[in-house]
Amino acid sequence: MKFKFNLPAEFSVHLIASMTAMMGAINVLSAVTPPLHERLKILLTVLPFMVSRGGHLASALLGFALIVLSSGLWRRKKQAWWLAFFMLIASVIAHLTKGLDYEEAIFAILVIGLLVYAKPQFHALSDRPSVRQGLQLTLAALLFTVIYGVTGFYLLDRHYSVNFGFWSALRQTLIMFVEFYNPGVQPITGFGRYFSASIYAVGIATIASAFFMLLRPVLIRHPATEEDRKRAWEIVQTHGRTAQARMALFDDKLFFFSETGSVISYVLSNRVALALGDPIGPEADLENSLTAFKAFCKANDWLPAFYQIPAASLESYKQAKFDALNIGREALVNLGAFTLEGSANKTLRNSFNKMLKLGYRSDVIQPPYSARMMRELNLISEEWLTSKALSEMRFSLGWFDEAYLNTCPILLVRDREGFIEAFANIMPEFQAREVALDLMRHRKVSESGLMDFLFVSLFQWGQQQGYASFNLGLSAFTESQSGAQDPAMKRTLNYLYSNLNRFYNFSGLHSFKEKFHPDWEPRYLAYPGVVNLPAVAAALMKANLGRTSSLI
């Protein structure tokens, strides 16, 4: 009967990353620990003392490198695997040459064995242009260091006890840079000691810079193609059922297509691939598309997350190993039941009737729009942004863009002279009997009750068009701040609230929406584990402020 050794994939990856970090710490500690006297005597019969001393510095630098690489191994980076493999081999040599430290060497060999065993698990890609830049940086730094060191030793030999010629200066530089020890050359001035130390500083800086470039996650350097956008449009028109469906087609988005007909619209912020809403496609494809997107992100060293998912989808995200956090509620006005009658709507009714008496009227216009109309709406939009001291929000909200607005009906509110005082664009939800609004802009100085008039006009138009409900959008943090029990979640929510509330008046918007007596439906953030929640929160904030790193 044969015994087959088998470790779960996730466990083996994390075990190897942890043992590599441990090996790095052992290297650093071993470097500052003197060798055992008896072993050193045996070693010095075979190797020169200078090689043994160089092994201490090499062990320290290799330890630092292994600690850095352990984070890349945790993320399953292929380049991290290869670098760790060679550095562990170098660690074995360093431990044996600095003091016959076979215990440390055996541990390094054990980690090498585990690395080889689990090699198929390390498949996450690094950014190829960054890898090339890292290698180019290393070669350029090596060339610079050689020129720097040779020139310095040759011209500054009065600061040392040796008169350097060209070849001796070259040898001195290469040994210090590659083997990390000073082969018996003693500086006799303070500047000489500074120059020798600078050789090591250049070497350490080169290694750190190269590691950063080699372990970078994949970056996106090109926007979605026209073919991708056309394909996404067709899927959204066929399967879109939420307010996020139209927003999934904005120009800031990238697209992931599943093999079974779904599209996931996302932005890339640092390492976070932040998707807006559920995957759009056949309902039966939800779990398959989530699994495929997770695999896609893992291969690119990204963290997948989904913003504003409905409660009905939560079970599918849990099956795909996502955690979920309530981030607010979406307001849905039942157009079949909406009315201005009754005591509960007295204030709203009075505002609406007041605007009618003042001569205000509304009308919905259809695209395409004239250049003159776009200029007038843009002036109102700029005036509104300036009065609120805001910049355009993005990702889950639209911004003033002529191409986008020319795909939507627009409701205009005019005064008695016919001048436009406010506007709002209307978004269909394709396969749902629901409609939503996005941009809602008005002039800086406006009549009290103007926004009430605008919204009532929108609801009345929706009723005339036969829509069942009107989506007023998300009221963020209405429940989540009080409901979160985990300290990390509370800190994350407070971070999001304090940063985004400067640009987006959550409490004021929620109170305004309440006057229309909507039904409130919870919305969630799906994220890959609590340890990644701060990174996802930071990505969400940057995405909403339009500061993603999708394109570089």
Among 106-115, 122-131, 290-299, 464-473, which is the least confidently predicted range? Answer: 122-131
Three-class secondary structure of residue 390 per DSSP:
coil
In a domain, 220, yes or no: no
Q: For the residues of 207-256, what is the DSSP string, one character each?
A: HHHHHHHHTPPP---SPPPHHHHHHHHHHHHHH--STHHHHTTSTT-EEE
Residues 160, 199 contacting (CB under 8 angstroms)? no
- Whether 371 and 490 map to the same domain: the answer is yes
For residue 492, the model assigns a pLDDT of: 63
- Whether 15 and 140 map to the same domain: the answer is yes
In a domain, 2, yes or no: no
Whether pLDDT at 261 is above 80: yes
Could you tell me the residue range of the domain that residue 30 belongs to?
A: 9-214
Residues 351, 452 contacting (CB under 8 angstroms)? yes
Banded model confidence at residue 160, pLDDT cuts 50, 70, 90: low
Nearest-10 Cα torsion for 250, 251, 254, 260: 50
- Whether 193 and 236 map to the same domain: the answer is no
Dihedral angle sign, alpha carbons of residues 33, 37, 39, 45: positive
Whether pLDDT at 332 is above 90: yes
In a domain, 425, yes or no: yes
In a domain, 365, yes or no: yes
Banded model confidence at residue 49, pLDDT cuts 50, 70, 90: very low
In a domain, 542, yes or no: no
For residue 433, the model assigns a pLDDT of: 87
In a domain, 219, yes or no: no
Residue % of the chain over a pLDDT of 90:
35
In a domain, 95, yes or no: yes
- Whether 251 and 392 map to the same domain: the answer is no
Name the one residue in this structure whose structure tokens are 């779990």. 287
Q: Which residues contact 390 (CB under 8 A, 6 or more apart)?
A: 503
- Whether 315 and 191 map to the same domain: the answer is no
- Whether 59 and 195 map to the same domain: the answer is yes
Question: What is the mean predicted confidence (pLDDT) over 74-85?
Answer: 80
- Whether 340 and 394 map to the same domain: the answer is yes
Distance of CA 351 to the CA centre of its chain: 44
Q: How many domains is the chain built from? A: 3
- Whether 239 and 271 map to the same domain: the answer is yes
- Whether 261 and 349 map to the same domain: the answer is no
Q: For the residues of 119-151, what is the DSSP string, one character each?
A: GGG--BPP-HHHHHHHHHHHHHHHHHHHHHHHH
- Whether 26 and 98 map to the same domain: the answer is yes
Residues 317, 307 contacting (CB under 8 angstroms)? no
In a domain, 300, yes or no: yes
Whether pLDDT at 387 is above 90: no
Whether pLDDT at 119 is above 90: no
Whether pLDDT at 306 is above 90: yes
CATH number at residue 444: 3.40.630.30
For residue 277, the model assigns a pLDDT of: 92
- The per-residue pLDDT for range 399-415, each reduced to its tens digit, is 899 999 999 999 999 99
Residues 233, 221 contacting (CB under 8 angstroms)? no
Residue % of the chain over a pLDDT of 70:
69
Boundary of a domain, candidates 319, 348, 381: 319
Distance CA 269, CA 245 (A): 21
